[in-house]
Amino acid sequence: MKQKETLLNMKENNKEIFDTDDHPFSGSAETPLRPDAFEKDDELKIELIEKHFREIMLILGLDLDDDSLKGTPHRVAKMYVQEIFKGLNPANRPKVALFENKYQYKQMLIEKNISFYSNCEHHFVPIIGKAHVAYISNGKVVGLSKLNRIVRYYASRPQVQERMTVQIANDLKQVLQTEDVAVVIEADHLCVASRGIQDVSSKTVTSDYSGKFLDQKTREEFLRLITIQS
């Protein structure tokens, strides 16, 4: 009770901090989904989103009889379900096969500059960035393209960059059967660049290290290698 009263007092005395569009990261590694998230099939979701997006456009005063606009509700609905938010559906998670580490390569393997497009869950505007991932084999290896696919799977949903970083790291640890995983993400957030403060020069950087990457020398080697120019 005392903690609750303290929080309420802080909110009252610091309205300029708490009454903001920049919501803090919740700390959960799970994307917040309703229990009935997958009861509707994709076709029905597209139909419903099209209907509601049409209403949004009408409220904004747009003329949907115009040749350029009349197909927009359907295009947006299809894009949401089949493209930019397809990572919400576990059925779209990439299938990953492991292979024996025949070469007995025991150093870190890095896939850097993995480009991705995501969307900020606070304003539904793009996050554009690149991810650097690394792991040290525990006897198994994975096809390089699968690392890219895992990154893009978690990017294809409304996201918070901190959560996305943790989700990628957790999935890689499970898939690769090792704790020796590192993930660094750097991204431009259009909710910062195109609205609000309108800062086009800043970038957001997040990281997740586990296993051998908690060792300072190993982590420094990883960070040095991902900054080497091609």
Flag whether pLDDT at 162 surpasses 50: yes
Residue 15 falls inside a structural domain = no
167 and 123 together in one domain: yes
Residue 104 falls inside a structural domain = yes
**What's the chain's average pLDDT?**
89
Q: Which of 5-14, 49-58, 134-143 has the lowest mean pLDDT?
A: 5-14
What's the pLDDT at 2?
Answer: 39
pLDDT in tens, 173-195: 999 999 999 999 999 999 988 88
Nearest alpha-carbon partner for 143 in 92, 99, 87: 99
Task: List, by residue number, the catalytic residues.
Answer: 120-123, 161, 189, 191
Compute CA 99 distance to the chain's CA centroid, rounded to the nearest angstrom: 27
Spell out a b/e string for 189-206, using b for 16 or more CB atoms within 10 Å of the CB, else e: bbbbbeeeeeeeeeeeeb
Could you give the number of structural domains in the chain?
2
220 and 126 together in one domain: yes
pLDDT band at 27 (very low <50, low <70, confident <90, very high): low
Name residue 205's beta-bridge partners.
Answer: 186
What's the pLDDT at 230?
Answer: 59
Distance separating alpha carbons of residues 142 and 200, to the nearest angstrom:
36
Residue 92 falls inside a structural domain = no
The mean pLDDT value for 210-227 works out to 97
Residue 123 falls inside a structural domain = yes
pLDDT band at 21 (very low <50, low <70, confident <90, very high): very low
Give me the amino acid identity at 226: I
Flag whether pLDDT at 12 surpasses 60: no
Which structural domain range is residue 45 located in? 33-84
130 and 207 together in one domain: yes
- 196 dihedral zone (left: phi>0; alpha: psi -120 to 50; beta): left
What is this structure's pTM?
0.85
